[in-house]
Structure 1
Amino acid sequence: MSAPAESPLDRLPPVTLVLTAVSSIQFGAALATTLFDELGPGGVSLLRLGIAAAIMVAVWRPDPRGVPRTDLRLVVLFGLSLGGMNYFFYEALHRIPLGIAVTIEFIGPLGVAIATTRRRLDLVWAALAFAGILLLNRPGGESVDRTGLVLILLAAACWAAYIVLAQRAGRVFTGSRGLAMAMGIAVLVPLGPGIHQAGTELLTWHFLLIGAGVALASSVIPYSLETEALRRMPTNVFGVLMSLEPAVAALAGFVVLGQNLDAIELAAIALVVAASVGVTRQQGRGAAPIVEG
């Protein structure tokens, strides 16, 4: 029997794949922000999820017929968490800087990691992350936009649910068929707000082209790279690398959007990154990886 053909990704180290995925997600989010004035965050969310869903359904061709009702309910919940995570994140991003938004949103996966561990040391890491979030809220001084804070906390809760449900879906469906069906459900979350905010602008070729770029950078490319990386590296190493997302988000916000962060905000981001690294670096190979949808 001949050996399977080598994929171009096989030639790249898994660390490179993860770092590329992290950068792709955050610079994709920065690109999405540039469309808020014309389409609104709801319109951009609808555009991203709609195009990503079309691509994934075309590739995986999932067939819901014959799927047990319990598994279909899992797909619906999976899709709603994915849609809510994206919609609430973009609505928050319309009000607060990218680096701060991703830092606060990281409460979701960090909370899952801490909730599934029995190590007392993780309580110290949790306290460190909480200190970082509190520092961002500037007690006694200028704080993060309140509405933006509520929205990004909702996104964090959806991210936590997404991680748990993605694990369950991965055991039930082969490949990414469960994710492809979930993406079709996710589109329903921003459907109303997206049409209200963007209207017929969603159908113009210019925004469709940029939306395709956002979908590729924020969903299709990082999903593919992360899946390949997880085949060749321990999940604890993967989690440590994903913990760099807040720092990469701050860089993307600065480079693409000109969002400057002061020393206190950078220190807060550093605290959350340190806490995330601390929680994930000791987890075993079977631990749940931190993956953004």
Structure 2
Amino acid sequence: MMGKNVFVKKLAFLGVVALSSVMLTACGNNDDEATGDSSNAANDDVQVVRIGIGNAYNPFCYLDENEELAGYEYEVLKLVDEKLPQYEFSYEPTEFSNILVGLDTGSYDMGVHGFGWNEERDQKYLYSETPSVTTGGYVILGAEGQDFETMDDLAGKKVQVKTGGNVSNLLEAYNKENPDKAVEIVYEDSENEQIVSNLTNGVYDAYINEKIDADQWVKQFDGLEQYGENIFGDQADSGCYYLYNKDAEQMEKDISAALQELHDEGETGKLSKEYLGEDYTK
């Protein structure tokens, strides 16, 4: 299947050539008892981690021109995998909406798509202790030449959001707490190019995104500008995390520890500069 990449670490085993099936059985039993051969046990101890990862979230996780998995998150996970011989990572690139479904149904052990923290997800999934990057909080995206700086400037404005995302939750809570300054929330699950077109053509006034993503958008698209700084303050967590099923506590601890080592060693910082333009791991 194009776009589906499974990367598996293979264990090599030494075969014993015997003269007869009887001798093979006898020698095999004796060797296991005498030497404590744990090849089969070692193979059984390696746990496959089935990872649902984004296929169109450039530059974080996406398929390149050869339909091969690429991006910051994928390169980081390859380094994490090298540090954890007890696991072998198996990747399935897929659409954002499929990742949580895959976790729910048990198809995936781990979900990767720059997931921010929110209370609803936290009740359902296990978040990684260590974020893969920090996001710099939320900023406002709009057409060039706007005078947006804070949430107050968006009162009565049409703000496009994606259904079920962190921003929709934050805006809904904001409107409830500030009815006299409420924004008009427009739920529309468009691709990035359409969102930018909606902004530059005046269909909607603003789109709210994390700074790490907004930086990429401003570089990628003409006629777009970002405004404000950390507009939700302490109400919004500023990390991107991996998600797991609730019973995967040991897996989460192991992967978070390896990821933190890579942060401390500066390896993820190098990849962040290469793929994201700056070191967003600090």
Smaller-chain TM-score range?
Answer: under 0.3
Larger C-alpha radius of gyration, 1 or 2? 2
Structure with a larger share of its residues in strand:
2
Larger RCO: 1 or 2 (CA < 8 Å, sep 6+): 1
TM-score (normalizing by structure 1): 0.25
